[in-house]
Structure 1
Amino acid sequence: MAPERFHEQFDHIQRSMPDVPLALGPAGDAHYLYEKGVVLARDGEEARAVEDTVRAHFTAVRGLSPEHVGRSGPETNRTGVTRIRVGDPGVGDDPVPHALRALRQAEARRGRRLVSRNHVVHIAVNACPGDEPVPVDRTETPNPAVVLDGYGMPDAVRVLVVDTGLVHDHTAYPPLTRTTGDVQLAETDEEGVLHQYVGHGTFIAGILAAVAPDAAVTVRGTLNDAGAVLESEFGARLFEAVDKGGWPDLISLSAGTPAESTTGLLGLDAFMRELRARRTLLVAAAGNNGSDIPFWPAAYTALPEYADSVLSVGALRADGEAEACFSNHGPWVRAYAPGERLVSALTGFRVPVPYRYQHSTYDTCRYGHDYVCTCQFPRHTGVLSEGRESTGGKPDQVMFDGLAQWSGTSFATPVAAGLVAALMAVCRERDPRAAGARLLRDTADRAEVRGARVPALRPPTWRPVRSAAPALSA
C-alpha cells in the first residue's frame, strides 16, 4: 500500500512545532492543517465580539467552563489579527469547529467573515509535496540553462524570494555569486545529514539566476522551520521580509495553504492590502495537491481587487505538454511553467553532503496520471513511510555535491518570476505588474490542462525531458 505522504508530513511538521497542537482539516481532509483551540479575528471590536460570542456559547450551550476562552497575544499588531483561545485543545474534541458554528449567525448579521482557523502555511512541497530532490552529476547543466549574456538592464530588477535560507556555500555555484540574503540556520543534523527541505530557497534562487541573470535576487529565510508557519505569524514575517530591503519589484513565494474561505487568509489581509497599494507583483505557487481547491495566497489572483498584483503559477510536467500530476489547477491558476525534474543548485560544490529520503515512492501515480511521474521514479524508500520494513527496510541515502533535480510548483514559480524579470529588462519596463500582464498576453505557447488550453511559460533555455525513466509496472 502506498504511503500517505500528507500524513507523514503532518507528523513531521508537528514535531517541528512541538508547542503548537495541530489538527487536520474537517474529517481528516488532506488539504490543510490548523492550530487546535485557537481562531483568528480582526483586532479591536470584532475580536471582542468573537470572544464574547464564544464564551457565551461554551457556557450556555455546551455547559463548559469559559476559563479557556480569551485572547492569546497582543491586543493589536501590524497584521491586524488577534489569536483567540476557544477552549482547551488538550481536553476532548477540538473546540474550533464548535466555535466556528457558534459564530456563523454573528457573521450573517454583520455580513462579513469575523473569524477563521489559524492555518499552517507551508512551502509548496511540504504538506503537499511534489517529490524530494535527486542528485545529478557535477557535469550536468542546469535546466533551465543559464542565459549567458544577460539582458543588460542598467538598474537590475529586484526579486525577493521568501522561503528557506541560502546554504552557507551557495556562492560556490557561479550563477549565485551575486545572490544575497539569509543563510539557512541549520543545514544538517547531529550525524551530518541534510535536514528535509534544506536547499529549497537556494534551488529557487538558482532558477531565477538562470532565467533572469541580471536580476538582483535576495533570499529571506522566512520559512526555515520545516517550511511551516502559523497564519497568525505569516503576515508579520512577510512584512519583515520586505522591510529589510524595501518593497521589491517581484516577490517569488512558493508557500501557502488551502482554506475554507473563498476570500483569502484573514492573517494575510493587512499584507495583501499593502501589496495592492504598491507596485510589487507577487508570483505565487499554486500548490501540489493535484487539486482544484484554491491555494492561498496564489488564489488571490482570482479576486478582482488583486487580479493585477498576484500571478499564480502551476507546474508543467517534464515534457512541457500538460500539467505535472501533482500540480493544483483550476480557473484561479493563471499560467503554468516547467516544474517537473528541473535542475538547479541545492548545496555548494565544496563538500558532498548526505541526505536520507523521507518518503517512499509509489507503485503508481497517486493522482491517477498515466505517464512516468515523480510519484514513481526514481525509486526510493523513506524514513517517514509506514511499513518500510516490509518494502525495503533501511531508508535510502544519497550524496549531494552541488546540483540536484527537483519537482514542484515551488520551482515553476521562480521560472515565471524570472521570465517577468527578463521581460522587464528586455523591454525596459519599470512596472512589474504591466510586465506580468504583457508576458501572459504575448505568450502564444499553450499546454493542455484538464481539457483547457492554458498559457505555458517555457523559457528559451529550458530543455523538455521526453523520457525520464523506463516503463514501471504497477
Structure 2
Amino acid sequence: MNIQSVGEALIRPGQVLTDRAALSAASRWTQAVSEADGVCVLHLTDGADPREVTAELRDQGIRASPNHVLRGQPLFFGGPASRPFPAPPVPFKPGRARSDVVVGLLDTGVADHPWWSGADWYARLGPEEADATEGAQAGHGTFIAGLLTRRAPGVSLRVHRVLDGDGLGDEAGVVRALHRMRERPPQVLNLSFGCHTFDDRPPPLLSDAIAALADTVTVACAGNTASDRPFWPAALPGVVGVAAVDACEPRRAPYSGYGTWVDACAPGDWLTSSYLDTGDFAGYAAWSGTSFATALVAGAIADAARHEPATEWIRRLLDSEEAPQITDLGVLFSASL
C-alpha cells in the first residue's frame, strides 16, 4: 500500500475523498476519479497536496478528506501489543445458544476454526472474506471473531475484509463497506482499527457513513497510541470508543489511548482467542491491544441485545451513575469470557 506520513497521520498520497457534489469544484486538481458505493476518490494531478485540496474544498462547504490510512490496533512496537504469541487450545463449544443479533466485523477477514464450524454465518462467507495468511496482523480478524462469539454465544457475524495482512486499510475502503451495510444493518458493529487525521478533525465521510447506520451501535478502539490525541472513528460522537485496562487491576494499559472522547474500557492484555492454524500456532493465540478490548465491549452489547435494542441498552449504561467508571477511560466492562 502506497502511504505518506503527515505528522502522526498516514494518508494515501495524491488522493482525496468526497462525493459527487465536489467533482466540478475539484476538477482543476483532478486527474481521474474512481467512484463506488457512494464514495468518490479524486486522484490528484502531480504536485497537488491532498491536505491543501481538502482545505479549499471545505472552505466551499464541501465534505472532503485525504484518504487516511487506518491500522488495526495491536501496533505498539516494543510492548505487549506488538504481536500474537502461541497459546494452548481453549475449550469452547457454541452449544445450542441462538441469538437473532448480528455483529458487523470489518477487519482482516475470518479463517476457518472449530469454534464456528458449521455456523450459518461462516458458511455464507466468500473467499474474499477469508482472513489474511501473511503479514504482521494476519489472524487479527479471526482473533476478534473468537472474542465476539464467546462473549455473545449464538451471535452471527457479518464479515467484510477492509484490512490487509499487515492490518492496513484506507478510509475509502471502510466507507464503501459501511455503505454496503445500509440495506441490512447489524445491531452492533466492531471496528478494531483507526487513525489520526492530518488536522485532528473528524473525517467527514467516515462520520457520515457511520451516522447513516442509526440503529447500529458502533464500537471502535481508542488506539494503542498511549496518548489523548483523538483517534478516529472512536472519537466520533455516537461511537463507543474503547480503551484497554491492564490484566491485574482496573487502570489504563500503558499503550492505550485515553481522553474525554473515550466512552468505555475493558481488559486488553494477554487475551486468548481463536487464531490461524499456522507455524507455531495451532489455532490459538494470546494477544494484547485496544483492538481486543473493543471486541469484549462489542460482545457484551451484542449479548445484551438479545433482550432489548442495543442502542437503548448502551445509552442507559453509559449514562448510569452506578456503572463503574475510570477517568479518561469511561465505563469499565469485565472480560467475562
Q: Which residue of structure 1 lines up, in the alignment, with residue 197 of structure 2?
A: 259
Q: Residues 123 and 228 of structure 1 are in contact (CA less than 8 Å); yes or no, is this contact kept in structure 2?
A: yes
Counting matched residue pairs gives 332
Deviation at 1:227, TM superposition (A): 2.5
Q: Compared with structure 1, are the counterparts of its residues 410 and 182 closer, same or farther at alpha carbon in structure 2 (3 Å cutoff)?
A: farther
Matches of 1:24 and 1:453, distance apart in 2: 28
Is 1:438 the counterpart of 2:316? The answer is: yes
Is 1:212 the counterpart of 2:152? The answer is: yes
Q: Residues 343 and 403 of structure 1 are in contact (CA less than 8 Å); yes or no, is this contact kept in structure 2?
A: yes
Q: Which residue of structure 1 lines up, in the alignment, with residue 263 of structure 2?
A: 334
Deviations 1:230-283 (A, max 9, x none): 32332113333x26x82111111112211034552244254234223xx11111
Q: Residues 175 and 206 of structure 1 are in contact (CA less than 8 Å); yes or no, is this contact kept in structure 2?
A: no
In proportion to residue count, which structure has more helix?
1
Matches of 1:453 and 1:404, distance apart in 2: 26
Task: Please give the residue correspondences for 1:227-238 in structure 2 after superposition, counting only pairs within 5 Å.
Answer: 227-238=167-178
Q: Which residue of structure 1 lines up, in the alignment, with residue 66 of structure 2?
A: 117
Q: Compared with structure 1, are the counterparts of its residues 259 and 408 closer, same or farther at alpha carbon in structure 2 (3 Å cutoff)?
A: same
Q: Which residue of structure 2 lines up, in the alignment, with residue 391 of structure 1?
A: none
Secondary structure at 1:236 match in 2: helix
Matches of 2:162 and 2:18, distance apart in 1: 23
Deviation at 1:81, TM superposition (A): 3.4
Secondary structure at 2:104 match in 1: strand
1:133 partner amino acid: P
Is 1:295 the counterpart of 2:235? The answer is: no
Is 1:284 the counterpart of 2:220? The answer is: yes
Matches of 2:118 and 2:262, distance apart in 1: 29
Q: Which residue of structure 1 lines up, in the alignment, with residue 137 of structure 2?
A: 197
Give RMSD over aligned pairs. Answer: 3.1
Q: Which residue of structure 2 lines up, in the alignment, with residue 400 of structure 1?
A: 281
Q: TM-score scaled to structure 1, two decimals? A: 0.62
Matches of 1:433 and 1:410, distance apart in 2: 21
Q: Residues 118 and 230 of structure 1 are in contact (CA less than 8 Å); yes or no, is this contact kept in structure 2?
A: yes
Matches of 2:228 and 2:62, distance apart in 1: 23
Q: Residues 17 and 66 of structure 2 are in contact (CA less than 8 Å); yes or no, is this contact kept in structure 1?
A: yes
Q: Residues 253 and 268 of structure 2 are in contact (CA less than 8 Å); yes or no, is this contact kept in structure 1?
A: yes
Secondary structure at 1:437 match in 2: helix
Matches of 1:339 and 1:135, distance apart in 2: 17
Q: Which residue of structure 2 lines up, in the alignment, with residue 387 of structure 1?
A: none
Q: Residues 205 and 219 of structure 1 are in contact (CA less than 8 Å); yes or no, is this contact kept in structure 2?
A: no
Deviations 1:188-210 (A, max 9, x none): 4xxxxx53222111111111111
Matches of 2:55 and 2:156, distance apart in 1: 47
Deviation at 1:219, TM superposition (A): 2.7
Task: Please give the residue correspondences for 1:18-417 in structure 2 after superposition, counting only pairs within 5 Å.
Answer: 20=2, 22-25=3-6, 29=7, 31-44=8-21, 46-52=22-28, 69-74=29-34, 77-88=36-47, 95-96=48-49, 100=52, 104=55, 107-108=58-59, 110=60, 112=61, 115-126=64-75, 130-138=81-89, 141=90, 155-167=99-111, 169-170=112-113, 172-173=114-115, 177=119, 180=122, 181-182=125-126, 185=130, 187-188=132-133, 194-224=134-164, 226-240=166-180, 242=181, 246-261=184-199, 263-276=201-214, 279-301=215-237, 307=238, 310-348=239-277, 353-354=278-279, 399-417=280-298
Q: Residues 122 and 255 of structure 1 are in contact (CA less than 8 Å); yes or no, is this contact kept in structure 2?
A: yes
1:173 partner amino acid: W
Matches of 1:173 and 1:447, distance apart in 2: 33
Q: Residues 247 and 267 of structure 2 are in contact (CA less than 8 Å); yes or no, is this contact kept in structure 1?
A: yes
Secondary structure at 2:179 match in 1: helix
Query: Is the radius of gyration larger for structure 1 or structure 2?
Result: 1
Q: Residues 256 and 297 of structure 1 are in contact (CA less than 8 Å); yes or no, is this contact kept in structure 2?
A: yes
Secondary structure at 1:204 match in 2: helix
Q: TM-score scaled to structure 2, two decimals? A: 0.85
What percentage of aligned pairs have identical amino acids?
27
Q: Residues 138 and 165 of structure 2 are in contact (CA less than 8 Å); yes or no, is this contact kept in structure 1?
A: no
Q: Compared with structure 1, are the counterparts of its residues 103 and 414 closer, same or farther at alpha carbon in structure 2 (3 Å cutoff)?
A: closer
In proportion to residue count, which structure has more strand?
2
Q: Residues 244 and 290 of structure 2 are in contact (CA less than 8 Å); yes or no, is this contact kept in structure 1?
A: yes
Q: Which residue of structure 2 lines up, in the alignment, with residue 457 of structure 1?
A: 333
Matches of 2:336 and 2:165, distance apart in 1: 35
Secondary structure at 1:435 match in 2: helix
Q: Residues 94 and 116 of structure 2 are in contact (CA less than 8 Å); yes or no, is this contact kept in structure 1?
A: no
Q: Compared with structure 1, are the counterparts of its residues 434 and 127 closer, same or farther at alpha carbon in structure 2 (3 Å cutoff)?
A: same
Q: Compared with structure 1, are the counterparts of its residues 339 and 223 closer, same or farther at alpha carbon in structure 2 (3 Å cutoff)?
A: same
2:145 partner amino acid: A
Q: Structure 2: which 5+ residue stretches go unaligned?
A: none
Deviations 1:304-353 (A, max 9, x none): xxx3xx211111111242111111111111010111110111124xxxx2
